Amino acid sequence: MPPKQRHAGSATTTSTTPSKPSTSSYVSTSAKSHSTSSTDASEIARSVWNKYLSKTPQRVKLLDSFMAFLVVVGALQFLYCCLVGNFPFNAFLSGFSATVGQFVLTASLRIQTNPDNKSEFESISAERAFADYVFGSLLLHFFCVNFIN
Amino acid sequence: MRWFFSFLCAALLGLSSALSSSGSRLLVVLEDVAEKGSYGGFFGDLEARGFHLAFETPKSPSLALLKFGELAYDHLLLLPTKAKGLGPALTATQLLEFMKKEGNILLALSGDHGTPTAVQSLLLELDIHLPSDRNSLVVDHFNYDGESAKDKHDVVLVPFPKVVRTDVKDYFGGEGVIAVPRAVGQTLGNESPLLAPILRAPSTAYSYNPKDESEIVEDPFAVGAQLNLVSAMQAHNSARLTILGSAEMLQDAWFEAKASLNGKAITTANRDFVAKVSGWTFKELGVLKIGKFVHYLDEGVSKKVNTSSAIPENNPSIYRIKNDVTFQVPISEYVSTHWTPYTPPSGDNIQLEFSMLSPFHRLNLSPLSQTANATLFGTTFKTPDQHGIFNFRVDYKRPFLTNIDEKRQVTVRHFAHDEWPRSWQISGAWVWIAGIWVTVGAWVGFIALWLYSAPTEKVGGKKTQ
Is the CB of residue A103 less than 8 Å from the CB of residue A70? yes
Say if the Cβ atoms of A102 and B456 lie within 8 Å: no
Residue B447, H or E segment: helix B430-464
Q: How far apart are CA B336 and CA B284, in angstroms?
A: 5
Q: How far apart are CA A106 and CA A112, in angstroms?
A: 10
Q: How far apart are CA A21 and CA A19, in angstroms?
A: 7
pLDDT for the residue numbered B7: 54
Domain boundaries, chain A: 2-55, 58-148
- What's the alpha-carbon Rg for chain B, to the nearest Å? 35
For residue B460, list its beta bridge partners.
none
| CA atoms within 13 Å, Cβ hemisphere of B439 | 35
DSSP string of B375-388, one letter each residue: EEEEEEEE--S--E
Is the CB of residue B3 less than 8 Å from the CB of residue B52? no
**Torsion sign (Cα): B140, B143, B146, B149:** negative
Q: How far apart are CA B462 and CA A52, in angstroms?
A: 19
Kindly list the residues from chain B whose CB atom is less than 8 angstroms away from the CB atom of residue A84. Answer: 428, 431
Who wins on pLDDT, B419 or A42? A42
DSSP string of B93-130, one letter each residue: HHHHHHHHTT-EEEEE--TTT---HHHHHHHHHTTEE-
For B:406-465, CB contacts with A below 8 A are 420, 422-423, 426, 428-429, 431-436, 438-440, 442-443, 446-447, 449-450, 453-454, 456-458, 460-461, 464-465
How many CB atoms neighbour CB B352 within 10 A?
A: 26
Of A66, A70, A88, Cβ closest to residue B428? A88
Q: How far apart are CA B263 and CA A51, in angstroms?
A: 124
Q: What is the dihedral of CA B248, B252, B253, B259, to 10 degrees?
A: 90
Q: How far apart are CA B195 and CA A47, in angstroms?
A: 97
Kindly list the residues from chain B whose CB atom is less than 8 angstroms away from the CB atom of residue A147. Answer: none
Q: How far apart are CA B123 and CA B109, in angstroms?
A: 12
Q: What is the Cα A86 distance to its own chain's centre?
A: 29
A66 and B CB contact within 8 Å: yes
Question: Could you say which DSSP state residue B184 is in?
Answer: P
- Three-class DSSP category at A83: helix
For A:88-107, CB contacts with B below 8 A are 88, 90-92, 94-96, 98-99, 102, 106
Say if the Cβ atoms of B460 and A57 lie within 8 Å: yes
- Three-class DSSP category at B156: strand
pLDDT for the residue numbered B27: 94
Is the CB of residue B109 less than 8 Å from the CB of residue B244? yes
The per-residue pLDDT string of chain B (465 residues; one tens digit each, 9 = 90 and over) reads 555 555 555 454 444 445 788 889 999 998 888 888 899 999 999 999 999 999 998 888 888 999 998 999 999 999 998 877 888 889 999 999 999 999 999 999 988 888 888 899 999 999 999 988 878 889 999 988 888 888 888 899 999 998 888 888 889 988 899 999 999 999 999 888 899 999 999 999 998 888 776 767 777 888 888 899 999 999 999 999 999 999 999 999 898 888 888 888 889 999 999 999 999 999 999 999 999 999 988 876 544 443 444 445 688 899 999 989 999 999 999 998 899 999 999 889 999 999 999 999 999 999 999 999 999 999 999 999 999 999 999 999 999 999 999 999 999 999 888 888 889 999 989 999 999 999 999 999 999 999 988 655 444 444 443
A57 and B CB contact within 8 Å: yes
- Measured between its terminal Cα atoms, the distance across chain A in Å is 49
**CA-to-CA dists, residue A129 to A65, A112, B332, angstroms:** 19, 6, 80
Largest CA distance in chain A: 60
Of A85, A91, A137, Cβ closest to residue B432? A91
Kindly list the residues from chain A whose CB atom is less than 8 angstroms away from the CB atom of residue B457. Answer: 57-59
Q: Is the pLDDT of residue A107 over 90?
A: yes
Q: How far apart are CA A90 and CA A94, in angstroms?
A: 6
Say if the Cβ atoms of B453 and A22 lie within 8 Å: no
Kindly list the residues from chain B whose CB atom is less than 8 angstroms away from the CB atom of residue A98. Answer: 435-436, 439-440
Q: How far apart are CA A118 and CA B370, in angstroms?
A: 89
Q: What ipTM does the predicted assembly reach? A: 0.75
Residues A76-101 have pLDDT tens digits of 999 999 999 988 899 999 999 999 99
> Which residue in A has a C-alpha nearest to residue B460's C-alpha?
A57
Of B435, B449, B464, Cβ closest to residue A73? B435
Kindly list the residues from chain A whose CB atom is less than 8 angstroms away from the CB atom of residue B426. Answer: 87-88, 91
Q: How far apart are CA B142 and CA B42, in angstroms?
A: 29
Q: How far apart are CA B137 and CA B155, in angstroms?
A: 9
Kindly list the residues from chain A whose CB atom is less than 8 angstroms away from the CB atom of residue B420. Answer: 149
Q: How far apart are CA B286 and CA B401, in angstroms?
A: 5
- What's the alpha-carbon Rg for chain A, to the nearest Å? 20
Is the CB of residue B283 less than 8 Å from the CB of residue B334? yes
Of B426, B453, B465, Cβ closest to residue A58? B453
Q: How far apart are CA B460 and CA B465, in angstroms?
A: 9
Res. A139 pLDDT band, cuts 50 70 90: very high
- Three-class DSSP category at B312: coil
- State the alpha helices, DSSP H only, in B175-295: 252-255, 270-281
CA distance A123 to chain B (A): 18
Kindly list the residues from chain B whose CB atom is less than 8 angstroms away from the CB atom of residue A130. Answer: 450
Q: What is the dihedral of CA B15, B20, B21, B25, to 10 degrees?
A: -50
Say if the Cβ atoms of B461 and A57 lie within 8 Å: yes
Domains of chain B with CATH codes: 17-285 (3.40.50), 288-419 (2.60.40)
pLDDT for the residue numbered A21: 43
Is the CB of residue B253 less than 8 Å from the CB of residue B151? no
Cα B8–B14–B15 angle (5° rounding)? 90
Residue B438, H or E segment: helix B430-464
